[in-house]
Amino acid sequence: MKKLKVLLVLFAAFLILPFAVFAEGEEEVPEDAEVVETTEAPEATEESKEVKIYFFRGEGCPHCQEAEEWFKSIEEEYGSFFEIVDYETWQNEDNAKLMQEVAEARGETAEGVPYIIVGDKSWNGFTESYEEEILDQVKSLFEQPVSERYDIMSYLKTGKKSEEKSSSNDVLVLGVILLIVGASCFAIYKLRDSSNE
């Protein structure tokens, strides 16, 4: 009976062990590392402060052409506020897939081009009524610190990687737990079997 109690205590300890081993904690900083603490984010340069406009378009699309012409027409007055990140989707399959990934990550359907994204807002198609909305969004984001802006491309990069990492860690932890439970059950069975003899 005493062996059974010891085995149960070991079993409980082994169930807790994977969570302690695989818990994600803060990285340790080496003692000799120089730590610089700041209270403010560094000032962004004028170039990096520009608001990114993600512009998914098709070569030969008349609405895309209208949007491009409008962007060019406001460039002189507002060109320092934004940067167009252009993705041609009709001739480039990778860009077409990226457009679908972006739309899916935003909980939207990209029904065609142009598909324009500025921060956390998007426009499918292009009409004159979108011009003021897009410009207002650009101006609003330009006033925000770069570090506080929502950027769908950054989200896609970091969101996917962290999900994949989390998923693989979960599978590993589950495998270790199942292995420990199985080994413990086998040990209990053998102990009972040997005590009955």
* Domain CATH for 103: 3.40.30.10
Question: Does residue 107 fall inside a structural domain?
Answer: yes
* 89 and 140 fall within a common domain: yes
Question: Does residue 28 fall inside a structural domain?
Answer: no
* 146 and 55 fall within a common domain: yes
Mean pLDDT, the chain, whole residue set = 78
pLDDT score, position 8? 62
* 110 and 179 fall within a common domain: no
* 145 and 71 fall within a common domain: yes
Question: Does residue 23 fall inside a structural domain?
Answer: no
pLDDT digits (tens, 9 = 90+) for 123-175: 999 999 999 999 999 999 999 999 899 899 988 887 654 444 455 566 666 67
pLDDT digits (tens, 9 = 90+) for 10-26: 666 666 655 554 544 44
pTM of the model: 0.58
* 91 and 146 fall within a common domain: yes
* 68 and 130 fall within a common domain: yes
Question: Does residue 160 fall inside a structural domain?
Answer: no
* Residues 118 and 51 sit within 8 Å (Cβ to Cβ): yes
Domains held by the chain: number: 2
* 75 and 121 fall within a common domain: yes
114 preceded by a cis bond (ω within 30 of 0): yes
* Residues 74 and 66 sit within 8 Å (Cβ to Cβ): no
* Residues 110 and 56 sit within 8 Å (Cβ to Cβ): yes
* 96 and 146 fall within a common domain: yes
* 58 and 145 fall within a common domain: yes
Question: Does residue 26 fall inside a structural domain?
Answer: no
* 169 and 134 fall within a common domain: no
Q: Is 135 exposed, middle or buried (0-12, 13-18, 19+ CB in 10 A)?
A: middle
Question: Does residue 93 fall inside a structural domain?
Answer: yes
Question: Does residue 20 fall inside a structural domain?
Answer: no
* 172 and 98 fall within a common domain: no
* 115 and 179 fall within a common domain: no
Tokens 């082994």, residue located: 14
Domain coverage including residue 192: 165-197
Question: Above pLDDT 70, what percent of the chain?
Answer: 65
Nearest to 117 by CA among 136, 100, 102: 102
